[in-house]
Amino acid sequence: MSTRFLVKLGLNLKKYRLEKCLTQESLAEKVGIHPTYVGKLEGGKNNPSVKMLYKITRVLGIKFPDLFDFDK
């Protein structure tokens, strides 16, 4: 998977997290993951599973495809 793709995905994740006024720690707690993992996702350092992305979208209250809309 391209690093550029992961960076764009991470930026979208951060944008939606901030729109919901969540810290990395609070998002991590709600999803059931470690806060440093959220930071790595937002920085494009980790390649998350589809299951993990689904859990995150549920917590953020967004549709799964929204994370992949890089034109917004």
Tens of pLDDT, residue by residue over 4-50, are: 999 999 999 999 999 999 999 999 999 999 999 999 999 999 999 99
Tell me the pTM. Answer: 0.91
Residue 69 C-beta-side C-alpha neighbours within 13 Å: 8
Which domains, ranges and CATH numbers included, belong to the chain?
3-65 (1.10.260.40)
- Give the pLDDT score at 9: 96
pLDDT at 52: 97
pLDDT value, residue 72: 66
pLDDT digits (tens, 9 = 90+) for 45-67: 999 999 999 999 999 999 999 99
Q: Are 42 and 15 in contact (CB under 8 A)?
A: no
